[in-house]
Structure 1
Amino acid sequence: MAALRVPPVRLTGTLSTDPEPGGLLGPVAIRDLAQRLDVRPTKTLGQNFLHDANTIRRIVRTADLTPDDVVLEVGPGLGSLTLGLLGASAHVTAVEIDPRLADQLPHTVADRAPELADRLTVVTADALRVTELPGPPPTALVANLPYNVAVPVLLHLLELLPSLRTALVLVQAEVADRLAAGPGTPAYGVPSVKAAWYADVRRAGNVPRPVFWPVPNVDSGLVALTRRPHPPGDRAATFAVVDAAFATRRKGLRAALARWAGSPAAAEQRLRAAGIDPTTRGEQLSVEQFARLAATEPAGG
């Protein structure tokens, strides 16, 4: 069955009074536009729309964009953050999975900020399945990521797009803590190590619940990433070791990596070859140590 196509909504002169300056979408405009498009935010698509102008300006400011940056935005929704990003960059490529929202976004920008309309490209797609993007290569990822797929989307885009120099993503606070955690801390785990393969990662602040519609039942946080050279070694092999090490967090690496290496003895041999104590647990290792371990030769190799 073909997807329902809702005619784009013209905002100029018909939108309910909205106090937000600078063309940004405030709470009144967000709800009005959603009603006109018959959009009901769903948990399935992780739809929680930003509507606070101060938060949008803060995100744009924290992203530290230059006039030459090409921004990739995932999940633009009704366009509140998109409008802020367009004024601070050379171009925005917005990837939106919902065809109704993707169809509407260019019209919203044309009505609210017509002088910036030629800076926008909209791609109707699932960000997890994107393999290429039109236009100039993006240099910065700035997005209010759908919380249910935030980590897979982030890692996929970092791998797919080496042109990305920086990223600032808004995610669930617990996920933000995990992404930015360092070795030996309680939140350190698979997302921490895999994000560190690509970039230096840090927490960049909290975002309160009331700036979203609908209001989420979880706290939110910003995570900033700055691309750096990845450790020597193979990404897929390193990530396989990471997955194995954290599958059983309470075990020492000799036991946790037994299946990966072939046996506990083989795991111990490879750990010692990498200069790692076999009784150490995965949460103690840096991404560089995981990469070094992945590069060791199997027993008899």
Structure 2
Amino acid sequence: MSTGFTEPAKSNPSGFFAEAKKHLGQNFLHEKGVIDKIVQAIDPKPGDAIVEIGPGQGALTFPLLRRHGEVTAIEFDRDLHAPLQAAAREHGTLRLIEGDVLGVDFSKLAAALGVEKIRLAGNLPYNLSSPILFHALDHAAAIRDMHFMLQKEVVERMAAGPGSKVYGRLSVMLQAYCTVTPLFVVPPGAFRPAPKVDSAVVRLVPKPLERIEVQDRAVFANVVRAAFGQRRKTLRNALNGVADGASIEAAGLRPDARAEQVEVAGFAKLANLLAPG
């Protein structure tokens, strides 16, 4: 019975082939020039704990192993585990975690790897990119930086500023806790199968605690969620039941403004005013 894998080919930097599973959102990166640029952007140093999300066929995993010697990878697709382990032996030490990344406690993983902070990397499945990003935010204190490949549109939303049509909840939540830097665009042809959209690589660096203006993460998340829940509404209407007009004005915001006009610091100030204690 066919396993879906064939003998390694020189044109395939990952070392083996696997059929992409559409229901898992798999698009395997194969363009060597793009892979090299990602590795250069990550620039692993001795002592770094590199953790890759979704290694797939190992297109990024094996160059990182050759450069760094050790990589921990989280892979949901069980059919890829044995081929990844087998192909990795000639490149370095691969620690493979089997399961859903959303169930991995990055703080505990850092402790298990004997480091204070891990470095995340990966070509994220587009249908799960936002949940994975928010999961990483929950463990930002244990993460030094993140280098992710995402749909270009998502990266644009992540880095957007107030006044932009794509500035929204994702922009505010990420920028409150991280410095977001888009790095470069990746065309569809760099993947197999080719997606219908452009992709982009982005770097996120969690801010040190003293630079985070948010006092209560839950209150902040609730304010931002409500504000952008109905983008056409003014803050007074969108935040009805969350914050009254007096509180909005006390935070230095206009109750008749819309969420996309408010800077991250403005949301943080309002949430801090509403936080208990």
Distance of 1:257 and 1:275 partners within structure 2: 15
Report if aligned partners of 2:152, 2:185 keep a CA contact under 8 Å in 1: yes
Match of 1:15 in 2: 7
Matched letter for residue 286 of structure 1: E
Aligned: 1:184 with 2:163: yes
Q: 1:56 aligns with which of 35, 38, 45?
A: 35
Match of 1:129 among 100, 103, 109: 103
Q: Give a deviation string over 1:73-129, Cα, whole Å, max 9, x none.
A: 111111111011223336321010111112321111114x2xx1x2x2110111112
Shift of 1:217: 1.1
Paired letter, 2:122: A
Specify which of 192, 205, 221 is matched with residue 184 of structure 2: 205
Out of 201, 206, 219, the position equivalent to 2:198 is: 219
Q: Give 1:59 shift.
A: 0.7
Q: Which amino acid aligns with 2:239?
A: L
Q: CA RMSD in A?
A: 2.2
What is the distance in 2 between the residues matched to 1:260 and 1:44? 38
Aligned pairs for 1:1-301 within 5 A? 15-19=7-11, 24-25=13-14, 29-30=15-16, 33-34=17-18, 40-89=19-68, 91-111=70-90, 113=91, 116=92, 118=93, 120-131=94-105, 132-133=108-109, 134-137=112-115, 138-229=117-208, 230-261=212-243, 267-297=244-274
Q: Encode CA deviations 1:174-231: one digit per residue, 9 max, x unaligned.
A: 1110011112212110111111122110211100111101111111111111221322
State the alpha-carbon separation in 2 of the partners of residues 43 and 237 from structure 1.
37
Deviates more, 1:176-185 or 1:126-135: 126-135
Q: Which has the greater radius of gyration?
A: 1
Report the CA distance between 1:140 and its aligned residue. Answer: 1.4
Q: Following the alignment from structure 1 to structure 2, what is the Cα–Cα distance between the partners of residues 197 and 246? A: 15
Q: Quick check: 1:67–1:90 contact (8 Å CA) kept in 2?
A: no
Q: Structure 1 CA distance, aligned partners of 2:113 and 2:36?
A: 26
Instruction: Return the alpha-carbon distance in structure 2 between the equivalents of residues 43 and 177 of structure 1.
Output: 24
Matched residues, number = 266
> What per-residue deviation string (whole Å, max 9, x for no partner) do you get for residues 146-199 of structure 1?
110112102202322522111111001111100111122121101111111221
CA distance in 1 between counterparts of 2:30 and 2:198 reads 16
Q: Aligned equivalents of 2:260 and 2:216: distance in 1?
A: 20
Identity over aligned residues, as a percent?
A: 39
| C-alpha distance in 2 between matches for 1:297 and 1:246 | 17
Letter in 2 for 1:246: F
* Structure 2 residues without counterparts, runs of 5 or longer: none
Letter in 1 for 2:43: D
* Contact preservation (8 Å) 2:214, 2:271: no
Residues 233 and 292 in structure 1, CA contact (< 8 A), matched pair in contact too = no
Mapped to 2, the partners of 1:17 and 1:290 lie a distance apart of: 52
CA deviation after TM superposition for structure 1 residue 144, in Å: 0.3
Gaps of 5+ in 1: 1-5, 35-39, 262-266
Q: Distance in 2 between matches of 1:188 and 1:17?
A: 43
Q: Which moved more, 1:132-141 or 1:286-295?
A: 132-141
For normalisation by structure 1, the TM-score amounts to 0.82
TM-score with structure 2 setting the length = 0.89
Cα offset for 1:297? 4.1
